[in-house]
């Protein structure tokens, strides 16, 4: 399922209008939407030109200014140098793949933390789930009782054979040992 998309119109007076919610928004609102996983597209109110890249860059610059958290200087230097299309395309590909790997690693950690919490909060349930394929409880009651009855019949047969071997005369047992 695709994430919802919010269309923002940017007007000449620098105001940003969320067309879906019918309200004006600030850069912080757009940043919050993006962090929440909402796809945001910003277009010029008059021409319809896509301004998403510019607005997102503006959000990054504002965050760096307010929080004094900026992108690493090496990355910024490479971005400035990436004036030709090939370098720009490579950097875009590299950054997208790096961020995808980071997101997958983060999801994996969250999943494992969740399952670890489950194990800690309910260890008996965890063990029960591990053994569900090997327990008789996973079988239907009739097949379990049939299996038990079959095992009892086999035990009775083995006991009967052992009794019969115990009744044989010792002389025949000696003959068998000497012939071997």
pLDDT tens digits, 114-157? 877 776 777 777 677 667 655 545 555 567 788 888 889 999 99
Distance CA 137, CA 134 (A): 9
pLDDT over 70, % of the chain: 79
Reply yes or no on whether the pLDDT at 23 is more than 90.
yes
Q: What value does the mean pLDDT of the chain take?
A: 80
Q: Return all residues near 63 (Cβ < 8 A) that are at least 6 apart.
A: 31, 69
What pLDDT does residue 136 have?
47
Higher pLDDT, 179 or 27: 27
Say if pTM beats, i.e. exceeds, 0.75: no
User: Containing H/E element for 171?
Assistant: helix 170-179
What pLDDT does residue 76 have?
76
- Residue ranges of alpha helices (H) inside 8-137 are 27-35, 52-67, 73-81, 85-121, 123-131
Cα atoms in the Cβ-side hemisphere of radius 13 Å centred on 11: 9
Cα separation of the two ends of the chain:
76
Cα 147 to the chain's mean position, in Å? 40
Instruction: Give the residue extent of every domain in the chain.
Output: 1-70, 73-138, 141-169
């Amino acid at each position: 399922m695709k994430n919802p998309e919010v269309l923002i119109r940017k007007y000449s007076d620098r105001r940003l209008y969320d067309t879906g919610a019918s309200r004006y928004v600030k850069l912080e609102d757009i940043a919050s939407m993006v962090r929440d996983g909402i796809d945001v597209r910003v277009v010029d109110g008059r021409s319809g030109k896509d301004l998403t890249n510019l607005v997102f860059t503006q959000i990054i610059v504002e965050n760096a200014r307010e929080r004094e958290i900026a992108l690493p200087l090496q990355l910024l230097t490479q971005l400035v140098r990436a004036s030709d299309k090939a370098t720009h395309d490579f950097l875009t590909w590299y950054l997208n793949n790096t961020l995808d790997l980071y997101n997958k690693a983060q999801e994996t950690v969250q999943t494992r933390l969740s399952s670890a919490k489950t194990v800690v909060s309910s260890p008996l349930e965890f063990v029960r789930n591990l053994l569900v394929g090997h327990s008789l409880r996973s079988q239907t009651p009739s097949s379990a009782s049939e299996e038990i009855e079959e095992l009892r019949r086999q035990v009775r047969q083995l006991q009967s054979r052992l009794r019969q071997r115990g009744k044989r005369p010792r002389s025949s047992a000696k003959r068998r040992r000497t012939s071997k």
